[in-house]
Structures are given as C-alpha cells and as structure tokens.
Amino acid sequence: MALNDITLAIDPGEFVAVLGPSGCGKSTLLRLIAALAKPDYGTISFENDSDRRRAIAYVFQDPHLLPWRDVLRNVALPLELIGVKKAEQIDAARLAIEQVGLADAVRRYPSQLSGGMRMRVSLARALVTNPRLLLMDEPFAALDEITRQKLDEQLRELWLRRAMTVIFVTHSTAEATFLANRAVVMSARPGRIVLDQPIALPEHRTAGLRGEPAFATQTRVLFEALERGEGKR
C-alpha cells in the first residue's frame, strides 16, 4: 500500500508543494489525481469533472520530448492529439513558448537544447492546453542549482499570471518554501499527511527572499516535519 488515509482538499488557484521520503507515495498521489491510476478505495473529485483530459496537465522529471520534432511541434503535440486545427495549434504553441522564455528556440530540436531549456519546453507543452490543474513530479530535480532556482522563479510568476492550480512534488524544502503557498508533508510509506500548512511569505518572490530569516524559518518547519515523517515507518 503506497498511501493510507489521505484526505486532501485543494482550492482552485492554490500552489501546493508535496514533500516526503522517497517511496512514500508522492508520485502515486499525482497519478491518482490525473486518473493514470485507480485508488483501491476512496474517491477523487473535481468541481467540474466534465473534461478532465483538458483540465489537467502533467510535467514529469524527464521532459520526454520527441527528438524528431522541433520545439514548436513538441509543444503543439497535445493540441494535435485532441484534434485542434493546425493554425490554432501553432498560435497556442508559440504563445506558450514565449511565456517560458524560449521564443528564439522554436525551430531547435531537443538535442540542441540544454537541460533547463528542455524542461521549459516540457512546461510549455503542459501549459498549451490552458489547464486548470498542473501536476509536476520533481520536474527540476536533475538540474543544476542555478538553473533550478531560475526555473522556480519563472514557474512562480507563471502561476501568478495564469491563476491555475499547481500540485508540485519535490524533495527540496527550500524549493517548496519558495514556490508554494501551502505545503503538505507526508510520512514514510504508506504515506500519511504529517503537516499541512500555509507558507507565510510574500506573494511575489525573488531570489533575495532565500536569504531572509522568514524563509529560513518556513524551511525549518518543513524539514522538521520531514524528520517526523521519516520516523513513522
């Protein structure tokens, strides 16, 4: 059993970070929300469940880009798969690419991109359908620290502009503190919630925030909850 007795209500427009020990069920939770797996018991419900395919987008740790497609066609792929007209695909893809800062790379192929750029393409591909819910499973974990922090800043600003709901899985207490307006910490497998609380930091966050005492305080609270969760085996 990966999860046990999880009760979690998320309001529209929240940015929720999910942390916990390896194997505690964080990725399983995302897969259940995305209907990529079925729960053994319990229910998962949405305010408007009429078209979950378009309402939810998923960003994995690996960008999973198609090597034979350039950036523009990789980003347009979700719209192509659901039958959107070609001209609309291109317009929406270009807009999403611009929003992640890759307007000058639309004709490049994945092999011509850095790791950070490939992840931004993956993010643009997720955003192209204008999802109401964005699920992100440790998307920046394999990147160097500077690139990761820049992408955290960009993602936070995209969330503020788009007012979408984000559930972001991470092992990093600093990343969770910077990105989220709410953090959920899970115990060791089977995963249970050991902490669910708001992140009391300003709405607009810049790199300098990471050096402030309030940031350190919030990060410490998450770290202590992780320690408690590790003990619940």
Checking if the pLDDT of 48 tops 80, the result is: no
Whether the bond between 190 and the residue before it is cis, its omega within 30 degrees of 0, is yes
Q: How confident is the model at residue 53 (pLDDT cuts 50, 70, 90)?
A: low
Q: What is the pLDDT of residue 100?
A: 93
Q: How many residues does the chain have?
A: 233
* Residues 142-152 as b or e (16 or more Cβ within 10 Å = b): ebeeebbbbbb
140-189 residue pLDDT tens:
988 899 999 999 999 999 999 988 999 999 999 999 999 999 999 998 87
- DSSP H helices, the chain, are 26-33, 52-55, 71-81, 86-99, 115-127, 145-162, 173-179, 213-231
21-33 residue pLDDT tens:
888 888 888 988 8
130-141 residue pLDDT tens:
999 999 999 998
Q: How confident is the model at residue 85 (pLDDT cuts 50, 70, 90)?
A: very high
Task: Provide the sign of the torsion angle of the four alpha carbons 84, 99, 101, 155, taken in this order.
Answer: negative
* Residues 188-199 as b or e (16 or more Cβ within 10 Å = b): bbbbbbbbbeeb
**How confident is the model over 42-53, as a mean pLDDT?**
70
Checking if the pLDDT of 232 tops 70, the result is: no
For 9-18, 53-62, 161-170, 197-206, which range has the lowest pLDDT when averaged over its residues? 53-62
**How confident is the model over 13-17, as a mean pLDDT?**
96
